[in-house]
Amino acid sequence: MHGLAETASGAVGYVFPNDLHVHWSLMIVLYPYITGIVAGAFIVSSLYHVFHVKALRPIARFSLLFALAFLACATLPLLNHLGHPERALNMMLTPSPSSAMAGFGYIYSAYAVVLLLEILFIYRPTLVRLAQTSTGWRRSLYGVLSLGSDNLSDEALALDRKIIAFLAGIGIPMACVLHGYVGFIFGGVKANPLWATPLMPVIFLLSACVSGIAGIILAYMVIKRGEVDMTCIRTCLKYLWGFFILDFVFEMLEVFSHAYMATHHWETLHTLLWGPLFNSYWVGQVLIFSVVPFFLLGVLSLVRLDDGMVRFLAPLVSLMILIQVLLMRWNVVIGGQLMSKSERGAVFFHPEWFEKEGIVPAIVIMVLPLVILYVLGKIFPFWLPAEEKRG
Amino acid sequence: MDARLRREIEEEIRRDRRAFIKKVLGGALAGSLLLVIPAGALEVPEQLPGLRGQKGDFITGHKYAFVVDITRCIGCGSCCVADKNEYQVPDGYYRTWVERYIIDDLDNVYVDSPNGGLDGYQKPRTDIKGKVRDTFFVPKLCNMCEHPSCVQVCPVGATFQTRDGFVLIDYKRCVGCAYCIQACPYSVRFLNPKTKTADKCTWCYHRVRRGLLPACVNVCPVQARKFGDLADKNSEVYKLLHEPHVISVLKPDMGNKPSLHYLGLRREVV
C-alpha cells in the first residue's frame, strides 16, 4: 500500500509512531549481500594472482567473472529501493561530502573499472585466439574485447603480467574498501545501537570474504559437477574455514561486548535479540548456519576425508555459509530497524511477496547475476584449457 | 375602474420585483468582489514581529527556538490535528505527535501514543499495576538540531540547514533513500508515500517567514508549545531559557544539540 516503507506486522512495548515502518527492507538486505559476494570472489582470484596460491588456479579466472556478474547487479536493489531512482546520479553529480553514502558511486565505479580491466588483460591471450578462430560478429566482439591488440609475443605477455599484477594489487584494497565502506554506512549511524560499532566494517568485510569463497565453491561444483579439481576445492575450504573463524568470532564478540558493558543500549539490544530477532539470529544465523558449518569446515580442513565425502559436504557447507551471511545481513539491516528509537519497544516485520521491495523482486535480483554469468560464460571461457600456460 | 386599478397594482408589483432583483444582483456582485480583491481588513496580524519586511533567502537578526512546556500539555491533540491539516500528512505518518507518560509507584513507566495523539486521550489506561505516581504528556516534533545527523548523512544535500538554523528538505532534490530517517535519533522523519521523499516537521517555516507562529503553537489552548526569538530579550522563550528553570533537551548524549527545549522534562522521557 505504502510503496516505500513497509509496515511492521506487530509491536511490543512503546514504539515511536514513525518507527512502525521499516524503511530499509529486503532490497537493502541484498545490497550488502551482493557487494559482499563481489568483494569475496575477487579476494579468491587475488589469492592466486597476487599471493600465488597455485591450487586456486582452476577458479582464478572464473571468480573474476563471478564477481563481475554480481557487480553488474549491485546497484539494482538500490535503484528499486529509492523513492526517486531518476535522481540517483545526483549522488555522483552533486554529492554531499559529509554523507557516508555519497562515496558509494565513486568507490563502486572505480572498482568496476579495475575489475573489468583485470578481466580483459587476463583474458587477452584467450580473446586473441578466439578472435582468430571465430567468424562474423563474434570475431568483431573478440577483436574489441582484446583491446585491439593481437600481439602475443613474450614481451607483450610479460607486460600483460605486470599490468595484471598491478590491477590485482590495487584491486585488493579496493575490494576491501568497497565492502568495509558498506559496513561503515551502517556502522556510522550513531542513533542505532545495533549498527553504531567500529566493528561493523570489519564484520562486513570478513563476512564478504566468506560469502565470496562459499559462492565460488558452490558455483564451481555445480557447473563442473564431476570434473572439479579436488585440491582446489580442499584449498578453498581451508580458506573458507579460516575467514569464517574470524568472521564468526567477531560477530559473537560484538554481541558479547555489548552484553558485558551492559550500558543502557544493552537493554534495547536484549529486547531485540530475544524478541523479534530470536529465530533469525540465535536459531538461524548462530546455531544452524554458523555452529554447524564451523564444525563441518573444521572436519573438512583437519581430517583427510575421501573425495566422495568432500564432493558431498563442500557444496552443502558452502550453501549453509551463503545462508548464514544472508541471515547476518537480514539481522543487521532489518534487526537494526526493529528497535524503536524510543528505547522502549520493538516491532515485528515479515516481508510481503509482491511488494515493490518484496520477496519476488528479491528473487529476481538474485537470479539475474546467474543469468549474466551464463551470458558471460558464452563470451569468456570460464575454465582453462589444459594446454594453456597462464591464467 | 376595476380593470384600471388592477393594472396599476400589477405595474407597481412589477416595478418592485425589478428593483428587488437589481438590489440582490448588486449585493451579490459587490460581495464577490470583496472576496476577490484582498482588503486590508482581512490581513492576518503579524505574530512574529520584524519578519514581514525581510527580503533575501534567509531570516536575519533573529534566532528562533521552540520550547515545549510538559507541565502545561493536556494531551488534547489539537496541535496534531492542526499539523495534519496544514500539511495533509498521510495517515500513519507523523510530523508531530503527543505521548502519554504514566509512572506508577513501582517505578514502572507506561508510554503510549495511539494514532500519534491525533484523537486526544479520552480514555484512561487500565493496565497500570501500581498506584499512579506521575502522569504527563510529551509533544514531539523536529528537534532542529544545531548538529543535525540527517544533514550529515544526506548523500545529495537535499536535507540542509538554513543559515537561520532551520533544518529543511528540498523535495525536488531528495532521492528518497531514507538514510536521514535511519540517522535521526528522534524518529521525526518518514518517507512520504505521496511525494516519495523524506518528510518531517519544519516548525512551519513557510508561516514563520510570513511572521506567523507555527500551526501547532497557534492552536495550543494551554500554551504548552512556545515559539519565539532568542534575539529578542523580551520574548517568552528567551526568558525561559535564560532564567532558572527545569529545562532540558532530548537525548543530549547524541551530541546533536537540539533547538527544541522541554520545560519540566522528566528523566524517563526518551
* Arithmetic mean of pLDDT, B4-19: 83
Q: Which residues of B68-84 are buried (b: 16+ CB within 10 A; e: fewer)?
A: bbbebbebbbbbbbbbb
Please, what is the angle between helix A57-71 and helix A199-224, to 10°?
110
Q: What is the pLDDT of residue A5?
A: 67
Confirm if A48 and A57 have CB atoms less than 8 A apart. Answer: yes
- Residues 183-202 in B contacting A (C-alpha not used; CB under 8 Å): 183-191, 193, 195-197
Tell me the Cα Rg of chain B: 27
Using the predicted structure, report yes or no on whether residue B12 has a pLDDT greater than 90: no
pLDDT-derived band at B38, boundaries 50, 70, 90 = low
* Arithmetic mean of pLDDT, A333-354: 95
- CATH number reported for the structural domain that contains residue A111 in this entry: 1.20.1630.10
Residues of A engaging B, defined by a Cβ cutoff of 8 Å: 2-5, 7, 14, 16-21, 23-24, 78, 81-85, 87-88, 90-91, 94-96, 98-102, 185, 188-192, 336-337, 340-344
Per-residue pLDDT reduced to its tens digit, A161-212:
999 999 999 999 999 999 999 999 999 999 999 999 999 999 999 999 999 9
For residue A2, the chain B residues in CB contact (below 8 A) are 92, 193
**Using CA atoms, how far apart are residues A391 and B154, in angstroms rounded to an integer?**
43
Mean residue pLDDT across chain A: 94
Q: Hey, are the CB atoms on B187 and A96 less than 8 Å from each other?
A: no
Using the predicted structure, report yes or no on whether residue A370 has a pLDDT greater than 60: yes
**Using CA atoms, how far apart are residues B213 and B47, in angstroms rounded to an integer?**
6
Using the predicted structure, report yes or no on whether residue A391 has a pLDDT greater than 60: no
Q: What is the pLDDT of residue B214?
A: 98
Whether residue A222 is contained in a domain is answered as yes
- How much of chain B, in percent, has pLDDT values that exceed 90? 78
Interface contacts A/B by beta carbons within 8 Å: 140
* Arithmetic mean of pLDDT, A145-155: 91
Cα angle: A240, vertex A246, A249; to 5 degrees: 125
Q: Identify any residues that bridge with B34 across adjacent strands, giving them in sequence order.
A: none
Q: What is the pLDDT of residue B16?
A: 83
Which among A131, A147, A129, A127 has a CA at the least distance from the CA of A139? A131
Q: What is Dmax (Cα atoms) for chain A? A: 72
Q: What is the pLDDT of residue B13?
A: 83
Shortest distance between the Cα of B87 and any Cα of chain A, in A, equals 16
Shortest distance between the Cα of A185 and any Cα of chain B, in A, equals 9
Using the predicted structure, report yes or no on whether residue A389 has a pLDDT greater than 70: no
Whether residue A6 is contained in a domain is answered as no
Q: Hey, are the CB atoms on B155 and A91 less than 8 Å from each other?
A: yes
**Using CA atoms, how far apart are residues A74 and A366, in angstroms rounded to an integer?**
10
* B149 in contact with A, Cβ within 8 Å: yes
**Using CA atoms, how far apart are residues A148 and A128, in angstroms rounded to an integer?**
9
pLDDT-derived band at B35, boundaries 50, 70, 90 = low
- Minimal Cα distance from B178: which residue of A? A23
- Minimal Cα distance from A193: which residue of B? B185
C-alpha cell, A373: 554469468
Report residue B201: phi and psi, to 5°.
-65, 140
pLDDT-derived band at B15, boundaries 50, 70, 90 = confident
CA atoms within 13 A on the CB side of A326: 15
**Rounded-to-10 torsion of CA B109, B115, B118, B120:** -50
DSSP state letters, A241-266? HHHHHHHHHHHHHHHHHHHHH--HHH
3 state DSSP class of B263: strand
DSSP state letters, A51-107? T--GGGHHHHHHHHHHHHHHHTTTTHHHHHH-S-GGGTTHHHHS--TT-SSTTHHHH
* Arithmetic mean of pLDDT, B25-35: 77
Q: How many residues does chain A have?
A: 391
User: Nearest Cβ partner of A17 from B109, B113, B255?
Assistant: B113
Shortest distance between the Cα of B120 and any Cα of chain A, in A, equals 15
Confirm if B156 and B220 have CB atoms less than 8 A apart. Answer: no
* B254 in contact with A, Cβ within 8 Å: yes
Domain extent at residue A112: 19-85+99-379
For residue A99, the chain B residues in CB contact (below 8 A) are 152-156, 179
Per-residue pLDDT reduced to its tens digit, B42-72:
578 999 988 888 888 888 899 999 999 999 9
Confirm if A341 and B186 have CB atoms less than 8 A apart. Answer: yes
Q: What is the pTM of this model?
A: 0.91
Neighbours of B252 (CB within 10 A): 10
User: Nearest Cβ partner of B181 from A23, A87, A98?
Assistant: A23
Whether residue A265 is contained in a domain is answered as yes
Which of B98, B145, B182 to mutate against chain A (most A CBs within 10 Å)? Answer: B182
Confirm if A203 and A183 have CB atoms less than 8 A apart. Answer: yes
For residue A88, the chain B residues in CB contact (below 8 A) are 175
For residue A24, the chain B residues in CB contact (below 8 A) are 178, 182
Q: What is the pLDDT of residue A8?
A: 85
Q: Hey, are the CB atoms on A96 and B156 less than 8 Å from each other?
A: yes
Shortest distance between the Cα of B67 and any Cα of chain A, in A, equals 20
* B162 in contact with A, Cβ within 8 Å: no
C-alpha cell, A156: 607483450
C-alpha cell, A232: 582446489
**Look-up: residue for cell 538461524?**
A284
User: Nearest Cβ partner of A341 from B178, B187, B195?
Assistant: B187
Confirm if A216 and A319 have CB atoms less than 8 A apart. Answer: no
- Minimal Cα distance from A93: which residue of B? B156
Q: What is the pLDDT of residue B26?
A: 84
Structural domain count of chain A: 1
Per-residue pLDDT reduced to its tens digit, B235-269:
999 999 999 999 999 999 999 999 999 999 999 99
C-alpha cell, A335: 534487526
Residue A144 belongs to what H/E stretch?
A: helix A136-145
Q: Hey, are the CB atoms on B156 and A94 less than 8 Å from each other?
A: yes
- Minimal Cα distance from B94: which residue of A? A18
Extract the runs of DSSP E, i.e. beta strands, from A171-271.
Answer: none
Q: What is the pLDDT of residue A3?
A: 45
Q: Identify any residues that bridge with A22 across adjacent strands, giving them in sequence order.
A: A6
Per-residue pLDDT reduced to its tens digit, B99-130:
999 999 999 999 999 999 999 999 999 999 99
pLDDT-derived band at A386, boundaries 50, 70, 90 = low
Using the predicted structure, report yes or no on whether residue A388 has a pLDDT greater than 60: no
CA atoms within 13 A on the CB side of A192: 28
Q: Hey, are the CB atoms on B155 and A88 less than 8 Å from each other?
A: no
- Minimal Cα distance from A94: which residue of B? B156
Whether residue A259 is contained in a domain is answered as yes
Mean residue pLDDT across chain B: 93
Residue B160 belongs to what H/E stretch?
A: strand B159-161
Q: What is the pLDDT of residue A148?
A: 83
Q: Identify any residues that bridge with B225 across adjacent strands, giving them in sequence order.
A: B68
- Minimal Cα distance from A195: which residue of B? B182
* Arithmetic mean of pLDDT, A227-252: 97
Shortest distance between the Cα of B127 and any Cα of chain A, in A, equals 13
Whether residue A391 is contained in a domain is answered as no
Q: Which is it for strands A21-22 and A6-7: parallel, antiparallel or unpaired?
A: antiparallel
**Look-up: residue for cell 479520552?**
B122
Q: What is the pLDDT of residue B21?
A: 85
* Arithmetic mean of pLDDT, A262-271: 93
Shortest distance between the Cα of A166 and any Cα of chain B, in A, equals 32
Using the predicted structure, report yes or no on whether residue B96 has a pLDDT greater than 80: yes
Whether residue A359 is contained in a domain is answered as yes
Which of B187, B201, B268 to mutate against chain A (most A CBs within 10 Å)? Answer: B187
CA atoms within 13 A on the CB side of B140: 27
Q: Hey, are the CB atoms on A4 and B191 less than 8 Å from each other?
A: yes
Confirm if A272 and A282 have CB atoms less than 8 A apart. Answer: no
pLDDT-derived band at A387, boundaries 50, 70, 90 = very low
Which of B153, B194, B268 to mutate against chain A (most A CBs within 10 Å)? Answer: B153
Confirm if A369 and A73 have CB atoms less than 8 A apart. Answer: yes
Q: Hey, are the CB atoms on B270 and A192 less than 8 Å from each other?
A: no
Confirm if B167 and B148 have CB atoms less than 8 A apart. Answer: yes
Whether residue A8 is contained in a domain is answered as no
ipTM of the complex: 0.94
Using the predicted structure, report yes or no on whether residue A140 has a pLDDT greater than 80: yes
Shortest distance between the Cα of A389 and any Cα of chain B, in A, equals 47
